[in-house]
Amino acid sequence: MAAPRAFLHLIPLKWNWGERGFRDLSGVTTPEASHRGRRTLLQFLSDHFYDVEFLREYFLRKQMQKLHLENGSYIRVQNKYGPDIAGAYFILKHGGAVKFRDMEWVRSDEWRHFIAGVSKFQAVPVEAVDASGCAINYDGLGNLLSLKELRSLSLQRCPHVDDWCLSRLYPLASSLQELSLAGCPRISERGLACLHHLQNLHRLDISDLPAVNFPGLTQILVEEMLPNCEVVGMDWAQGLRQGPDEQPQDAAGPIPVEPLAPGSRQPLCNS
Amino acid sequence: MLRRVLRTGLGRSLLIRELGASSGKGRNVSEMKKKIRSLLPGEPDNFMYDTRHLPPERSDVVIVGGGVIGLSVAFWLKKLEKRRDGIRVLVVERDQTYSRASTGLSVGGIRQQFSVPENVQLSLFSVDFLRNINEHLAVVDAPPVDLQFNPSGYLLLASEEGAAILESNVKMQRQEGAKICLMSPEQLRKKFPWINTEGVALASFGMENEGWFDPWSLLQGLRRKVQSMGVLFCQGEVTRFVTSSNRMRNSAGEEVNLRRIHEVHVKMDNSLEYQPVECAIVINAAGAWSGQVAELAGIGKGPPGTLQGTKLPVEPRKRFVYMWHCPQGPGLETPLLTDTNGVYFRREGLGNNYIGGRSPTEEEEPDPADLEVDHDFFQNKVWPHLAYRVPAFESLKVRSAWAGYYDYNTFDQNGVVGPHPLVVNMYFATGFSGHGLQHALGVGRAVAEMLLNGHFQTIDMSPFLFSRFYLEEKLLEQNII
Ligand SMILES: Cc1cc2nc3c(=O)[nH]c(=O)nc-3n(C[C@H](O)[C@H](O)[C@H](O)COP(=O)(O)OP(=O)(O)OC[C@H]3O[C@@H](n4cnc5c(N)ncnc54)[C@H](O)[C@@H]3O)c2cc1C
């Protein structure tokens, strides 16, 4: 059990560039951002000149294309070194970390070291993946689905992981024991409903999901659906007790400095 | 003199300032914009009277029906046009509230479990589109489309007699790339302990890409996007087509009467006023009413047994959907379950609510004149089967119900896509008999391809052509829910 838990103690990763670039312009990832009444110069111009609107549409499209490119399939690596190396390579490229069985965690800044020693890693399977904050999307997730021995997967705060992604996790059902989805802005109760395929799950972190409409009820229903699994959600009773000035100050920021222990997370209703 | 000029000048500027203050910044800007636009050359002159509610005098393509299929055709026409603003597209919809349109009244399901390969392909195409909906339908500065997709899968049950067909269907669906698994009754009991597996020999379950979504979100998203692409909308009913005919001989020496629509008459709401719209192409996407629209173009008016006398066999068929509450009912894992006899249900939200129904037999078909709900139908024809399959449903409470029209193809319950062989510029996109919502995106693309390039490209829809009605070649879809 020690190994899969290790992702909780990882140093938080760098905020991902690709993702930040994507957020800047589009109303696609951040629905509220462009609608809070903040009128940017570009917005003003595009209201009045069709060309500017066209240009902005073009940039929007370019950014989406970039995300797609970054989430392509690593089929050549896979054919040469097998699915585990391909999966690990994909995650390291995105700024995440992987753990091969009986080895230390490999982080994204060590990927040269990883490539140099690829034969050493090839002998053992990947057993844990920490993709916290990575710009993985539905297509990119495909690179992880053939990790036959994957026991722990953390997708915390991944901006593009959505309900469609969750519906794709079932090939990992035989091995996956621990899954963290905490802080994913696009996951709702609709996606959580299809985690019933993951029958071997021991631990599931669904705290801090802003798109879930009824967090308390959802947690109860998920617990009923996965009776053998410890479901970590937001502690809404605690949220009721906590006064406004007891709120953690950095809670609005995208990434807390220390990974929070389950339960100490800021309750949803106050964020 | 000078003083007077100054005074009036000052007065006016004060007035303007006052107006500006009262109307707020946003309105001011938009009014300015309107003024500038109307002064620019090439813009319609709006000073005399407002004709914005009227359709334009001509349009390259007129789409009859602004439901999900009509809008999808509009989207793909604009998307695939060779140059920006190359074709003018007008969507004519008689009811902007869509109160009777099937799109908003549907159950919103999408599945790949069909028996006709093209239907599987259409559905796979659509699901791919829906997954990336905010790329396809992105409009700068507009909020993203919230599709509310529930990836919970379809679970189809088969009796002993149906098992072989189910198995061969699943084999085909997998070949097409769908992720469907077969389950024995034992596996079924293990996965969904609330099912009574009596009488079930085999089940098939969609692991991915199946479930349900909010049809209204898709409709609104499409509408917003096509508007941003320059498609025009007009509220009115298409009441007449002006056609010309041309007698020709085919290679066998028989005389054929080719016809072409030149003008569409659009009757305005609550008035006798109508506006003729000159057009090159008409798309019949009028859903359950597309049979009537075809008749307006003279389709089916001819001696029986001839191509001219072959009707578009699409008519409205009333289908009831019931919503019930059952505290002990199945949980979050509930898929859309379809029983061996066609009774279906799915979860609706989180509060132990479910929606479902059943297609009536030919003899039981209700009168489609209105959208009244027959509650006895649930009591006698639906509930007993529900309670048998899911014993927890013994005690349920019906909360609400509604009815909607299937765009029912009485010939083979499958869609009609592509041009009419005689009325050469009328294209069909209709007749999907209860699965039109999930196929709309693929169908729209197919029609646009046919129109722009003369042949189907992405998915070969030739089995869906109108001519099959005349040739009496049925393209039967077994999985009609
Ligand atoms: C109860 C029910 C459940 C369903 N469940 C599903 C499901 O789970 N999955 C699925 O894929 N499909 C489902 N369907 C089917 C689906 O809703 C339809 O196939 C689909 O919506 C058809 O779209 P449409 O655009 O052709 O029709 P509509 O949405 O009906 O649009 C046609 C439009 O044409 C307009 N119109 C008609 N005649 C004229 C005229 N002369 N002039 C101007 N406008 C005109 C009408 O006002 C209407 O708005 C269901 C249908 C029903 C009734």
**How many residues does the structure list for chain A?**
271
Are B245 and B257 spatial neighbours (Cβ–Cβ below 8 Å)? yes
* C-alpha–C-alpha distance, residues A239 and A260, integer Å: 15
Task: Say what the pLDDT of residue A45 is.
Answer: 64
Residue whose CB lies within 8 A of the most ligand 1 atoms, among B63, B437, B441, for a mutation test: B437
Q: Which residue has the higher pLDDT, B394 or A43?
A: B394
Residue B73, ligand 1, Cβ within 6 A: no
pLDDT band at A244; cut points 50, 70, 90: very low
- pLDDT number for residue A139: 94
Where residue A270 falls among pLDDT bands split at 50, 70, 90?
very low
Instruction: Choose among B140, B151, B333: nearest Cβ to A164.
Output: B151
Contact B144 A191 (CB under 8 A): no
Q: So where are chain B's domains?
A: 2-27+52-103+218-313+411-471, 149-205+319-406
Question: pTM for the full model?
Answer: 0.84
Is A241 a member of any domain?
no
A61 with A120, same domain: the answer is no
The pLDDT assigned to B478 comes to 80
Could you tell me the CA-to-CA distances from B333 to A64, A192, A222, B210, B338 in Å, in that order? 32, 9, 9, 13, 15
* Mean pLDDT confidence for A184-189: 96
Tell me which of B6-20, B94-108, B232-246, B446-460 is least confident.
Answer: B6-20
In a domain, A54, yes or no: yes
User: For residue A211, what is the domain's CATH number?
Assistant: 3.80.10.10
Q: Tell me what the mean pLDDT of segment B120-149 comes to.
A: 94
pLDDT at A215: 92
Looking at residue A122, its pLDDT comes to: 87
A26 located within any domain: no
Q: Is the pLDDT of residue A33 over 70?
A: no
Determine the average pLDDT of the residues in A2-30.
36
ipTM of the complex: 0.84
pLDDT at res. A111: 80
Verify whether ligand 1 is closer than 6 Å to residue B194 (CB atom): no
Give the per-residue pLDDT at B38.
Answer: 62
Mutate to test the interface with A, among B141, B192, B228 (most CBs of A within 10 A): B141
CATH topology (fold) of B2-27+52-103+218-313+411-471: FAD/NAD(P)-binding domain (3.50.50)
Least confident of B137-141, B254-258, B457-461, B477-481: B477-481
Q: What is the pLDDT of residues A116-131, one digit of tens each?
A: 888 888 889 999 999 9
pLDDT reading at A260 higher than 70? no
Instruction: Measure A160 CA to ligand 1 centroid, in angstroms.
Output: 33
**A residues 100-159 near B, CB within 8 Å?**
138
**A57:B140 CB<8 A:** yes
pLDDT at A264: 37
Residues of A in contact with B29 (CB under 8 A): 47
Number of independent structural domains in chain A:
2
CATH-assigned architecture of domain B149-205+319-406 = 2-Layer Sandwich (3.30)
Q: pLDDT of B388-404, one tens digit each? A: 999 999 999 999 999 99
In 3D space, the residue among B430, B426, B448 whose CA is nearest the CA of residue B439 turns out to be B430
Q: Is residue A36 domain-shared with residue A111, that is, in the same domain?
A: no
Say if residue A188 is in the same domain as residue A227.
yes
> Nearest C-alpha to atom 10 of ligand 1 is from which residue?
B435
Q: Which atom of ligand 1 is nearest to the CA of B71?
A: 25
Average pLDDT in chain B? 90
Answer yes or no: is pLDDT of B26 > 80: no
Whether residues A126 and A198 share a domain: the answer is yes
What mean pLDDT do residues B198-227 have?
96
Does residue B298 surpass a pLDDT of 70?
A: yes
| Residue type at position B473 | E
Question: Scanning the structure block, which residue is given the tokens 């010939």?
Answer: B411
User: Are residues A134 and A81 part of one domain?
Assistant: yes
User: Which one has a higher pLDDT value, B146 or A271?
Assistant: B146
* Structural domain that includes position A50: 31-70
What are the beta bridge partners of residue A203?
A: A178, A230
| Residue A166 structure tokens | 């969750």
pLDDT at A248: 40
Q: Which of A51-65, A146-160, B114-128, B404-418 has the lowest mean pLDDT?
A: A51-65
Mean pLDDT for A15-24 is 35
Query: A51 and A157 share a domain?
Result: no
- Indicate whether residue B475 lines ligand 1 (CB < 6 A): no
pLDDT at residue number A50: 63
Burial of B72 (0-12, 13-18, 19+ CB in 10 A): buried
pLDDT at A236: 54
Chain A, nearest residue to B206 by Cα: A167
Q: Which of A178-187, B1-10, B153-162, B387-396 has the lowest mean pLDDT?
A: B1-10
pLDDT greater than 60 at residue B168: yes
Q: Are residues A142 and A156 in the same domain?
A: yes
pLDDT at A94: 93
Closest atom, ligand 1, to C-alpha of B404: 53
| Nearest CA-CA distance, residue A55 and chain B, Å | 10
pLDDT at position B430 over 80: yes
Q: Token match 């007129």: residue? A: B62
Q: Which of A2, A11, A16 is nearest to A134 (CA)?
A: A16
Q: What is the pLDDT of residue A47?
A: 62
With respect to residue A11, please indicate whether it lies within any of the assigned structural domains: no
Contacts of A160 in chain B (CB under 8 A): none
Q: In Å, how far from its chain's centre is CA B311?
A: 21
Paired tokens of B329: 């009912």
* Mean predicted confidence (pLDDT) in B67-90: 94
Compute the average pLDDT of residues B411-419. Answer: 95
CB of A207 closer than 8 Å to CB of A181: no
- The residue to mutate among B106, B124, B359, having the most atoms of ligand 1 within 8 angstroms of its beta carbon, is B106
The answer, for A60 touching chain B at a CB cutoff of 8 Å, is: yes
Percent of chain B with pLDDT over 90: 79
What does residue A266 show for φ and ψ, rounded to 5 degrees? -70, 135
Same domain for A35 and A127, yes or no, is no
**Arithmetic mean of pLDDT, B151-163:** 96
Q: How confident is the model at residue B24 (pLDDT cuts 50, 70, 90)?
A: very low
pLDDT of residue B54 exceeding 50, the answer is yes
Residue A20, domain member (yes or no): no
Q: Tell me the C-alpha to C-alpha distance, in Å, between residue A185 and each of A208, A211, B136.
A: 8, 6, 21
Q: Supply B232's token pair.
A: 């025009």
Residue partners of A170: CB distance under 8 A and separation at least 6 = A194, A197, A198, B207, B208
Q: What is the mean pLDDT of residues B285-306?
A: 95
The residue-averaged pLDDT of A39-44 equals: 67
Q: Give residue-wise pLDDT tens across range A223-240.
A: 999 999 999 986 654 444
CA of A12 to the centre of ligand 1 (A): 50
Atom of ligand 1 nearest to the CA of B65: 34
Chain B interface disruption, residue of A29, A32, A196, most B CBs within 10 A: A196
pLDDT digit string, tens, across residues A129-186: 999 999 999 999 999 999 999 999 999 999 999 999 999 999 999 999 999 999 999 9
Matching residue, tokens 């909607």: B404
Number of Cβ atoms within 10 Å of the Cβ of B360: 18
How remote is the CA of residue B289 from the centroid of ligand 1, in Å? 9
Let me know whether A93 and A190 are in one domain.
yes
Round to whole Å and give the CA distance between B65 and B95: 9
Is A1 within 8 Å of A246 (Cβ atoms)? Answer: no
Query: Ligand 1 atom closest to Cα of B296?
Result: 41
User: Is the domain of A223 the same as that of A121?
Assistant: yes
Cβ pairs bridging A and B (under 8 Å): 86
B48 Cα: distance to centroid of ligand 1 (angstroms): 38
Percent of chain A with pLDDT over 90: 49
B468, containing H or E segment = helix B467-471
Residues above pLDDT 70, as percent of chain B? 89
- Output the CA–CA distances (angstroms, integers) from residue A219 to A100, A205, A214, A222, in the order listed: 31, 10, 9, 5
pLDDT (mean) for B41-48: 52
Distance to chain A for B98, nearest Cα, Å: 27
Asked if residue A99 is part of any domain, the answer here is yes
Q: For B409-445, b where at least 16 C-beta lie within 10 A, e where not — what string? A: bebbbbbbbbbbebbebbbbbbbbbbbbbbbbbbbbb
> Are A234 and A208 in contact, with CB atoms under 8 Å apart?
yes
Between residues B401 and A7, which one has the greater pLDDT?
B401
What's at B265, amino acid-wise?
H
- Quote the pLDDT of residue A110: 86
Residues A131 and A106 both lie in one domain: yes
* Ligand 1 contact, B119 CB (< 6 A): no
If asked whether residues A127 and A209 sit together in one domain, one would say: yes
Q: How confident is the model at residue B29 (pLDDT cuts 50, 70, 90)?
A: low
Residue A20 has pLDDT above 80, yes or no: no
Last residue of a domain, one of A46, A70, A94: A70
CA of B100 to the centre of ligand 1 (A): 8
Q: Report d(CA B427, CA B420) in Å as an integer.
A: 6
Nearest to A214 among B150, B151, B350 (CB): B350
**More confidently predicted of B50 and B67:** B67
In a domain, A121, yes or no: yes
A165 within some domain: yes
Pocket lining: B434 vs ligand 1, CB cutoff 6 Å: yes
Tens-digit pLDDT profile for residues B341-392 = 999 999 999 999 999 999 999 999 999 999 999 999 999 999 999 999 999 9
Pocket test for ligand 1, best of B62, B97, B100, B103 (most atoms within 8 A of CB): B103
Two tokens at A168?
Answer: 């794709």
